[in-house]
Structure 1
Amino acid sequence: MEAALWPWLHLLTLMCIFISGTLAFDTVRGTKPSITNDTLRDDPVGRLKVYVYELPTRYNKEVVERDERCLAHMFAAEIFLHEFLLSSPVRTLKPEEADWFFTPVYTTCDLTKNGLPLPFKSPRMMRSAIHYISTQWPYWNRTEGADHFFIVPHDFGACFHYKEEKAIERGILRVLRRSTLVQTFGQSYHVCMQQGSIVVPPYAPTKRIMEHLIPPSTPRSIFAYFRGLFYDVGNDPEGGYYARGARASIWENFKNNPLFDLSTEHPATYYEDMQRAIFCLCPLGWAPWSPRLVEAVVFGCIPVIIADDIVLPFADVIPWIEIGVFLAEDDVPKLDTILASLSATEVLKKQKALANVSIKQAMLFPQPSLPNDGFHQILNGLARKLPHHPSIYLQEGTRVLNWTAGPPADLQPW
């Protein structure tokens, strides 16, 4: 009996420890940030030059004008990266001296009434934009895109479909297969995860986050917190497929556990509640990631990452092992025991690592930009891929990519 009670007693002990909240940006209060990884603080200026193609506005500006909700949804990084690059010191107006070329095409702004992106036109739109740059400038044709990067923040990146089996069947858009992809999707050994891709966090509105900060002395009185779907009845009526059953398992095992604050409802105090929580559950949904991963890190809530084989944002510079807890999907029923095994010292150590300002800023795409933010991490990732290997340059007249391959609908004009 005593052995069975130990995990619960340990959980209660952790709950009784006064663990203070952490301000999203300590620099606001003049606190010197801790340094977990100096690479996060690299300055990309002087290390690379980027040429931004000037496309007809139907590929970008007009898309946003038709539906301004695009400016706030979780894929909006494609819009703000474009705006950032236009005024960035790394931008060059001389394409002959560029290390990288960027094509500003907004492929996630075709939204449903509920604000969900429909990617069905995205392949045609992207193919059309690439056809345009390849006929108006000579630079694409030298490498067939090997020195070009594209941001594709869909659920399954450049596979351009929100259902995994359809995304796998389609594969990465063929004309993008020599390019570097900047994508929110990241999963090891997956056909939609291209080698050399730069995985970034989903977009979370920085201004709105900053408006909901609470005093850093506020105790963290919630043990484990989650708001979101457990069952997606509309798209997975039989259950078990959505989130590979992980979310359903969370609900069935812990819905009556007083230490777990679980609900499908998003209260007005959602951001404040995360700042009062010790652990924030970050299970996969239809894709391995979600905006709550960003929110947890920014609010100093230890992310409990439940997504097998996930590739996390900027994983080469953010020490995810130090700031998070990783749980196999099959181990969800043991979630309480696993969290109970963490000592107060381990919890405090992770919270201290989470307090690093550079880590928080790396998870955001603020306007205006801030040092070390997500924009700069993308540029640093591109800089680390330089210099380009001579083999990327093709002999004149040589072709590698097959423009005529792909699903018939993708090949239609846009």
Structure 2
Amino acid sequence: MELFATGQISMQIKTANINTYYIFYKLSSVLCAVSVSTLQPLPLVSSNVQWPSNLSVALCKPKIYVYKLPSHLKSQSHYGYEICTISSYNPDAIFYEQLVNPGKIRDLYVTSNPNDADFFFIPFFGSCYLMNCWNNNYWNYTKSCNLDNQYSLPLMNWIIQEHPYWNRTNGKDHIMILSMNEIPSYFTESQPLLLNASFLTVIGDRRANGIMEHRYRHMHDIVVPSTADILNLIKINPRKYFSEDGNKNARNVFAIFRGCCRNIGPEVDYSAGVISLFFNGLADSPRYDIDEAVDLKIDDYAWLLARAKFGLAPQGRALGIARLWEYLAFGVVPVIVSDGIVLPFENDVDWNSMAVFIRREDAHLIDEILLSITENEYQRKRQRVWEIGSHLIKNSWHYIVRDLCRKMDRIVPVELDI
């Protein structure tokens, strides 16, 4: 009996200790909660060590020389240029014109003396050439209109044979735009001449699929923004569709998607099957506005974008997202469902702060994931889209230059008046 009583006393003591610990833990939690609520913001750090980067402080200030093509090549280099400016390959024109037309980009980074240059920009418009080729052949994408012999080889031979700059580094300090991800498949003879240059490309691919040299080469190429038809072809000005705060409190459409393809199956390569979930599930919910091509008048579609909270952004044929740039321009938080994608300027742009990322294996949980996002979290992302995302194309060269500085391993911070 004494042993039993002693055991009871011991158990009571243990129970009392546990209860005391629990009370202490709860009291500590309350005290911590009180102290956490009174925390003050940390002081600002030097702009040199901020991330995301402060664009007004460049990592360095390299000089870029833009090749001036002779008349016999200029006509070829601008073959199809006009159609390129109103297509999804508009970056080819935008980035070139920012370098050669009067303005801040040319003033900051361009030199007229090739002997002073750190990098050399080749005015290469292979995407424009192909767009014009297909337009003239009823959009037969098997046609190449002799891209290699009529365009690419003459241009590259002129760069390599008529100047000393390519051969100094075997082209490693040269830059050219390849915004069409399929374009290397149209090259045969000229492809070896191009590969040493750094490509500005709209497709970034982390997957080990054996064809990365045809799409994206990590630490060699630079992923840049693409553009959207509503912005380039129709030339809609997004700013006329919302208030100064980006329709902060007027977004009453939960999520939208416009694109191919209603009858696609989950097993197909296009979009890795993700779009099948949009049309066979999400489209049945009143929260989602999902359809194929833009079936509204373009003005109505612009108003729809201006009222949407989330925009579904799966990959297409390649690891790229055509709708992303519409969403950013209209202040829509993108929902990116594309495993392995490399987004533009990831070294300097905090994409996680303004987008929702969902793995393909979790794509069937899209609705659940989006509903779990609090209003405060959504508003933080929307604000970042408004402040950063909608200006990425305008500021692309500032970001490109930061990656060029990393290539040179030259980090000498320079304040810019931007």
Gaps of at least 5 residues in structure 1 are 1-34, 162-166, 366-372, 389-414
Q: Distance in 1 between matches of 2:338 and 2:154?
A: 34
Of 117, 120, 126, the match for 1:101: 120
Match of 1:159 in 2: 184
Q: Distance in 2 between matches of 1:117 and 1:275?
A: 34
Match of 2:99 in 1: 85
8 Å contact from structure 2 (residues 310, 335) kept in 1: yes
Match of 2:226 in 1: 202
8 Å contact from structure 2 (residues 255, 311) kept in 1: yes
8 Å contact from structure 1 (residues 85, 91) kept in 2: yes
Cα 1:180–1:283 shift into 2, 3 Å: same
Amino acid at match of 2:179: P
Q: What are the superposed Cα offsets for residues 218-261 of structure 1, whole Å, 9 maximum, x if unpaired?
A: 6111101001112588xx9x972221211122211212111111
Of 262, 284, 288, the match for 1:256: 284
8 Å contact from structure 1 (residues 188, 309) kept in 2: yes
8 Å contact from structure 2 (residues 263, 276) kept in 1: no
Q: Which has the higher contact order (CA 8 A, sep 6+)?
A: 1
Match of 1:180 in 2: 198
Q: Distance in 2 between matches of 1:106 and 1:348?
A: 40
Match of 2:261 in 1: 230
Amino acid at match of 1:193: Y
Q: What are the superposed Cα offsets for residues 66-96 of structure 1, whole Å, 9 maximum, x if unpaired?
A: 5622111111211222222124122212111
Cα 1:144–1:231 shift into 2, 3 Å: farther
Q: What are the superposed Cα offsets for residues 112-146 of structure 1, whole Å, 9 maximum, x if unpaired?
A: 34779778355553343221111110111111101
Match of 1:323 in 2: 354
Match of 2:402 in 1: 380
8 Å contact from structure 1 (residues 52, 104) kept in 2: yes
SS of 1:380 mapped into structure 2 = helix
Amino acid at match of 1:144: N
8 Å contact from structure 1 (residues 69, 115) kept in 2: no
Match of 1:309 in 2: 340
Q: What are the superposed Cα offsets for residues 293-324 of structure 1, whole Å, 9 maximum, x if unpaired?
A: 11212222110001110000111111111111
Amino acid at match of 1:195: H
8 Å contact from structure 2 (residues 51, 348) kept in 1: no
8 Å contact from structure 1 (residues 280, 296) kept in 2: yes
- Of 69-78 and 302-311, deviating more is 69-78
Amino acid at match of 1:107: G
Amino acid at match of 2:327: A
* Residue 313 of structure 2 corresponds to residue 288 of structure 1: no
Amino acid at match of 1:175: L
Cα 1:132–1:62 shift into 2, 3 Å: closer
* Residue 213 of structure 2 corresponds to residue 213 of structure 1: no
Match of 1:140 in 2: 166
8 Å contact from structure 2 (residues 111, 117) kept in 1: yes
Q: Distance in 2 between matches of 1:211 and 1:344?
A: 24
* Cα displacement (A) at 1:292: 1.5
Q: What are the superposed Cα offsets for residues 36-81 of structure 1, whole Å, 9 maximum, x if unpaired?
A: 733334458x711111112235655555465622111111211222
8 Å contact from structure 1 (residues 60, 104) kept in 2: no
> Which structure has the larger Rg?
2
Of 243, 257, 261, the match for 2:271: 243
Cα 1:160–1:271 shift into 2, 3 Å: farther
Of 39, 52, 59, the match for 1:37: 52
Q: What are the superposed Cα offsets for residues 266-291 of structure 1, whole Å, 9 maximum, x if unpaired?
A: 12222221121111001111122233
Cα 1:59–1:359 shift into 2, 3 Å: farther
Q: Distance in 2 between matches of 1:141 and 1:36?
A: 37
Tell me the percent identity: 26
Q: TM-score, normalised by structure 2?
A: 0.71
Q: Distance in 2 between matches of 1:149 and 1:232?
A: 41
Match of 1:361 in 2: 391
SS of 1:193 mapped into structure 2 = coil
Greater helix content? 2
SS of 2:65 mapped into structure 1 = strand
1:34-73 equivalence runs, <5 A: 37-43=52-58, 47-57=61-71, 59=73, 62=76, 64=78, 66=80, 68-73=82-87
Amino acid at match of 2:279: W
Give aligned pairs, total. 333
8 Å contact from structure 2 (residues 316, 322) kept in 1: no
Q: Distance in 2 between matches of 1:280 and 1:152?
A: 27
Q: Distance in 2 between matches of 1:42 and 1:60?
A: 36
Of 241, 265, 268, the match for 2:293: 265
8 Å contact from structure 2 (residues 81, 125) kept in 1: no
Gaps of at least 5 residues in structure 2 are 1-49, 411-418
Q: Distance in 2 between matches of 1:84 and 1:54?
A: 15
SS of 1:224 mapped into structure 2 = strand
Amino acid at match of 2:391: Q
Cα 1:115–1:300 shift into 2, 3 Å: farther
Q: Distance in 2 between matches of 1:74 and 1:178?
A: 25
